Structure formats: structure tokens, C-alpha cells
Amino acid sequence: MTKAPPYVNEEVATRDFKYYIFDWDDNILHMPTKIRMEHKGEDGEWSPVEVSTATFAMIRSDVEHYRPPKDGGWDAAFRNFADQPGRNTFIEDTITALERIEHGEIPGPSYNALKKTLREGRIFAIVTARGHSPETIEKAVRIFIRYALTEDERQQMFSNLRGYRKCFDGVTEFGTDAEELDYYLGMCRYSAVTHDRFRERMEADPIYQEKLATATNASKPELAKEFAIRDFVEHIFHTLQRNGGLGRSVSIGFSDDDKGNVKSVSSYIRQELSKRFDGIKFVVYDTSDRTLSKGRKVCVSGQLNLPGF
């Protein structure tokens, strides 16, 4: 039997500050949600076809053979990827994906990394091309905690969360587990970049207004992911600034199974983020190769200039 974790794990005070940004589909979970496209057959005729997210990542640049439905365009293609009145397909599909794992299916390449992040009580962000509200994504994370973590792992998570609250917020009286979980998940970020509120926020940002004006349609989702990442990095920076953590070793990891996203995010980090936040180490994980259990690790930018904020 493993030893029960302490009620408050004060050892978190000596840990490095590591944060993670996760893409959801095929990175954490293989979701059953399908994208509606049209495929051009050998006879030159277009016919409707439903593709998985994994297939979509491979065919999305093949505009000669695949296109979004003529009727409704990209909105119609991704109808199942947004909240719909009366039912929540994201929650249903998350449960289906988690139940399949319980029945032996192989999870996404970053599934264990999210488990570890939660167990350690570290702040993270979910950044997805989906169109759900942040509340929906947060709910899916709560379901993930219930299904993917064992009781022992959940106790470790609470022990670490109380540790962070004590060491960095000076809290000595803790809330119930449910209250501590609310507080923790409230510190994390959930960005579905095609959700209306996200789009509005991005369009109101002067820098992104300019970037969007010259972007091609195909590069817009990548630009939106960039915006979500900048948002999270700023959030982390301000959080560290508040509790005096900026002199420490800080790293932020990003994982995605879409090669296009990996490429554009890597160059965004190199060209902009690593210059603006030069005390932070950025690590990008390309998880497009399903034969590797943890994906491929690509270190984009090391901590070139230590502390010095």
C-alpha cells in the first residue's frame, strides 16, 4: 500500500514552476466527434464525408480533394464542435473517449501529462480549435479528473493544491475539496478559439486586429491559437509577479498533434514570446507521431537570460 499524502504538501514550495498548454483532440483524448467535409471522387463529383479529427489534421491542407460543405462552409463542417442548445456533445464525447480508455483503448499522447499536471496541482491551459464555451471545457476537465485519476491520485492533487495555497497565498484554513478544486480550476484557462466570446476578444486586440487583416483563411486557426497562448503566458507572468515567483526557473510546455500548429506556434515562440518573456523556458511537444508514446519533444527556447525581470 502506498503511503497517504500529507494533508498539506508544503514541499511544493521548492518545486520548479512548470505550466502546460494542451491541445485537446488527439493530444489528450481521441474523441469520437466527426467533422463534416466534402470529398472529390475520381469522377470529379463532390460528396459528403465525415472524418475524424486525426484524419482531418492530415487532410486539411489537401484542398484539391477536401472542402467544407458547400452549404454552410466551415460552420457546417464543425457544427459538432460547438455548444448546441439542449445538448452538450463535448461532454458526451469526452465521457465516451474516457470510457473507451477504461476498456483498453490507447489514450492520446498527452493524456498522462495532463494527469500528472492535475495530480501535481499545476496551472494549465486547454487550447483547442473547437467552439465551446470555457465553462464547457472546464466541465470536461472535471469529468477527466473523475474518470482518469484514481482516488489516491485525487488525494495527491488536493494535498498539492493545499500546499500551493499555503505557500503562495498564505492560506491556513482550507475550504472543502470541492471549493479548493473550484479555486484551482478557476486559475486555469480554457480557450476554444472558434467560440464567439474568444473571437470577439481577439478581434478587439489591436495587435491581432492587424495580424488578422493580412492572414489567409487557412492560417487563422493557427493565429487564434497564438493569441490563446499569449493570453496564458501573460496570465502566468502576472500570477508569478504577484507572488514573487519570477526569480525562479519557469517553464511553459505546449503540446499539439497538428503539425501545422506545432510549426506556427514554434515560430511564434521563437520570434515573439521568447523575446518578450526572456526568463521563461518554452518547450513544444509535437505529438503527431502516434507510434511514440509521449510524442516528440522539441525544445524551442531555453532560458537564455536567467532571472533579470
Give the footprint of Mg ion on this chain (CB under 5 A): 23, 25-27, 257
Nearest distance from C-beta of residue 287 to Mg ion, angstroms: 8
Return the number of the residue (30 or 166) whose C-beta is nearest Mg ion: 30
* 3-class state of residue 186 by DSSP: helix
Return the number of the residue (93 or 257) whose C-beta is nearest Mg ion: 257
Render the burial of 171-205: b for 16+ CB within 10 Å, e for the rest: eeebeeeeebbebbbeebbbbbbbbeebbeebeee
**CB-nearest residue to Mg ion:** 25
Task: List the beta bridge partners of residue 177.
Answer: none
Nearest distance from C-beta of residue 195 to Mg ion, angstroms: 16
Phi/psi of residue 231, nearest 5 degrees: -55, -45
Q: Which residue has the cell 475550504?
A: 175
Nearest distance from C-beta of residue 165 to Mg ion, angstroms: 32
Nearest distance from C-beta of residue 18 to Mg ion, angstroms: 21
Nearest distance from C-beta of residue 124 to Mg ion, angstroms: 16
Cβ contacts of residue 148 below 8 Å, gap of 6+? Answer: 98, 101, 111, 114, 115
Alpha-carbon distance values, 79 to 3, 21, 109, 268 (Å): 47, 25, 26, 29
Return the number of the residue (27 or 136) whose C-beta is nearest Mg ion: 27
Q: Which residue has the cell 486555469?
A: 188
